[in-house]
A and B are shown apart, each in its own frame.
Chain A
Amino acid sequence: MASSETVPAAGQRARGLAPFLRSQMRNIAPFLTLIFLSGFFAFASPSFATLDNLGNILTQVSVTGIIAVGLTFVILCAEIDLSIASIANVTGIAVAYFTLQDSYVNIANIPLPGAVAIIVSILLCALLGLVNALGLTVIGIPSFIMTLAMMQIAAGISALLVRGQIAYKVPSLITTLGSGSIGGIPWLVIVAAIMLLAGHLVLTYTRFGRYVYMVGGNREAAEYSGLNVKLILGAVMVISAVCSGIGGMLGVAHFGSAQQNEFDTYLLDSIAAVVVGGTSLFGGRGGIGNTIVGLLVLGVLNNGLDHVNIDSFLKILIRGLILLAALVINVYAQRLREKAAE
């Protein structure tokens, strides 16, 4: 049966502002949320809109930001990584484990030179990421389940290393990057900014970045284009684990101690940052720019709620509701785009 060949006019794309805004909804909505929240807290509390507090907010989201860089890659491929917080935790603990602790710390650890301790720790998180990658691509375990198992495995390694104790010392480079500052700017914020920038450059300007978007946009088509889809999926799982590991090491220095379950809240925060920012859970849409907006939304929300007089238990509920709203927008924006494409 002959299908009538309709050629869309070149001008059809610019049918007006409304369709354009609709197709850009996933980028616009988080940004409006950020402006609205900032305006609200600035109005509600005189101590919110200060330069000092901006510094606080940036510092507070930095560890989440470092972890979220890798997670953005994973979610762009329409996969998920639930092991990020556990891998951050185990890497932070490992780097302390390989550092000479004060005599009152009761951990049978193995002191190594600082640089070696850092390298071994990064190799550890990369290895855990590789296990995720192999489980996902070679065995074919869905990433949700595979990384759920890895979450337990990493937590288990953490437990074996510290055995309920707390370690304090980490290599001096990590201490500086995690808790020092230069010219009044915390190194932690600088590292987070550099990693976010690097992530953005990789996703936007490299061949690998393009493949990530293509695999996320239509995995079947990527395979029919002769892309090595498994290699790309494996790579994003390793990237995610390494970013988590770096976040974990700096986080330990930032908190001043390494112990079990230290990063538990970072799992949901990192996923929330990526998704609230507008990166599609179905893959192929979004990016580091979205993640930055998402981080700031969460940062402003957490910080702002401390500045206004509000029941601290209510804060948890409010965060949950904001996350739900972001998910609704995420799914809705996807549908609008699909409609626009048809």
Chain B
Amino acid sequence: MSEGRSPILELQGITKSFGGVEALRGVDFALLPGEIHGLVGENGAGKSTLMKIIAGVHTEFSGRFLIDGAETHFRSARDAHAAGIAMVHQELSVAPDLTVAENVFLGNQPTNRFGLVQWRRMAREAGEQLARFGIDVDPMSRLGDLPIGLQQLIEIARVLFSGARIVILDEPTSALSPPEVERLFSTLRRLREEGTAIVFISHFIEDILRVSDTVTVFRNGRKVAETASAATSKGALIEAMIGRGGEALEHSYTDDLMLPQPSGSSVILKVDQLSLARSLQDVSFEARAGEVLGIYGFMGCGQQELSRILFGKLKPDSGTLAVEGRPKTFASTAAARRAGVALVPESRRDMLFHQEPVYKNISISILDRISALLLKPAQERDIAQRQVEQLQIRPPVVGLDLGMLSGGNQQKVALAKWLTYPPKLLVLCEPTRGMDVGAKNDVINIVRDLRAKGLAIIVLSTEPETVLSLADRILVLKRGAVVREFRNEPVSKDRLLEAA
């Protein structure tokens, strides 16, 4: 349907590296006017890097960059904006304390000749624009009072109606409900009729197939496929994303993996009908002693909220928790720790003290067990030294400030702080994210040891490999609800992605 038109944007042989690691290798990409172009690939495959080059965020790269056939080089995001390119990032970037109308017109409010804002006109035009989008909301209400999905729609609307010729949407549907997704799609189709070129990045392959004309697949910084959406399927796209054959050194988990028979050991944690606003809906599951429960889902599927509820950092709207059969309502993280729950969040910065020595980072969670009133630094150092040796933390110096350690070793310290007096339930968020193969294997072995010692472990991750390498049983979380459980059956990356 798009033959005969010349591309509005064309990239040729784009290569981009970060500190010696190539994020993009010789990528060609062309975007036609009036086209919705879907982009899929795993985390770190290069989609976002490419989009940031187009939006003028990354300005250093090699390769040719043409707009309307003329070679261009953006020096900033402002240049890209001037050329009619707009991007909606995955994270909301709205001003919650301003009104809806102000958000729609952020940066270019209509003014009269004295430079004063024309409120009435702004409200009227914002209302009209949003109505075209099917959003019925008072333009003068405070944006932050609206539900998150609606805020996201308004942000998208702002960008779509900013007059941009090229619009890039990064994971626009992750916080939206099905009818909201519908509204977004019908608007995208209308803009396509008007000649706008749209890039649509998403983990939700069904969404991509429904709305896009063309799909491009990225893997390991390369473009591995480009095809008309009508001529492909979810299965084929997943296969292209993951790749067959020995391209990666790591175990790629493309083949079926047999999950073991559930052990029937005692239930440590029972979660029943947990719900939280738009994040979680009636989530129920059990975690058993000596078992690793994997919870897989895309970014924004509710994993983060779930882990925070288990550790008493967030309060659910409804639902119950029970540890070893006793119902609990964790009023604080301290209460959760006392009940035998431990959490390692995805961000190490959130749980470690970078300006303090390693031993203080390890001993913090057990201080109340080793000292009633006075500290016992020698004992703290001993305990830390033992953990450092057991987990092979490098360098093995407990007096070193934590900030001096590499990321992988910091992650081991984060684990070490819970291991001296092991908890009953260990919740790990993204335990191997951003690690090299060696450190990943170390962490995997540590977790397996803990399982052998009879801990109940929950691993939450957006990376299928992480879940597959650790879990005995896998739940798939999608838009806040458990949609599939894998147990005692074959599972693979394809099957996980298919379910999510």
> Which residues in A have some Cβ–Cβ distance to B below 8 Å?
1-10, 12-13, 205-207, 209-211, 213-214, 217-218, 220-228, 230-231, 284-285, 337, 340-342
Contacts and interface: CB of A to CB of B under 8 A. Distances in A.
Interface stretch (B172-180, B398-406, B474-482, B484-492): B398-406
Interface in B336-381: 336-338, 342-343, 345, 350-356, 360, 364-365, 367-368, 371-375
Contact of A13 (B23, B364, B400): B400
B406 A7 contact: yes
A202 to B, nearest CB: 10
B438 interface: yes
B438 A218 contact: no
A6 B334 contact: no
B351 A210 contact: no
Nearest to B249: A2
Contacts of A230: 332
12 contacts: A4-B21, A206-B375, A207-B372, A210-B367, A218-B354, A222-B364, A223-B333, A224-B333, A225-B333, A225-B337, A341-B403, A341-B404
A206 B313 contact: no
A231 B355 CA distance: 23
A217 B400 contact: no
A341 B401 contact: yes
Of listed A3, A223, A225, residue having the most chain B CB within 10 A: A225
Given A207-B373, A224-B333, A284-B355, A1 B434 contact: yes
B394 A221 contact: no
Interface string B129-151: 00000000000000000000000
Contacts of A1: 21, 23, 44, 434
B177 to A, nearest CB: 31
A1 B250 CA distance: 12
Given A220-B351, A228-B332, 6 more contacts: A2-B436, A6-B406, A7-B394, A210-B364, A226-B338, A341-B354
A227 B334 contact: yes
A221 B402 CA distance: 13
A134 to B, nearest CB: 16
B397 interface: yes
Name the 4 nearest CB pairs between A and B, nearest first: A226-B337, A341-B403, A228-B334, A224-B351
B350 A220 contact: yes
Nearest to A10: B395
Contacts of A221: 350-353
A221 B367 CA distance: 15
Of the candidates A4, A224, A337, A341, the one having the most CB atoms from chain B within 10 angstroms of its own CB is A224
Given A207-B367, A210-B375, A227-B364, A3 B434 contact: yes
B252 to A, nearest CB: 14
Interface string B430-474: 000011111100000000000000000000000000000000000
Nearest to B334: A228
B355 A5 contact: no
Interface in B312-345: 313, 332-334, 336-338, 342-343, 345
A164 to B, nearest CB: 44
Contact of B351 (A12, A225, A337): A225
A139 B354 CA distance: 30
B333 A214 contact: no
Nearest to B312: A226
A7 B401 CA distance: 13
A217 B345 contact: no
Contacts of A205: 374-375
Contacts of B26: none
Interface in B166-196: none
B288 interface: no
A5 B360 CA distance: 23
B34 interface: no
B352 A3 contact: no
A285 B354 CA distance: 12
B407 interface: yes
Contacts of B16: none
A5 B439 contact: yes
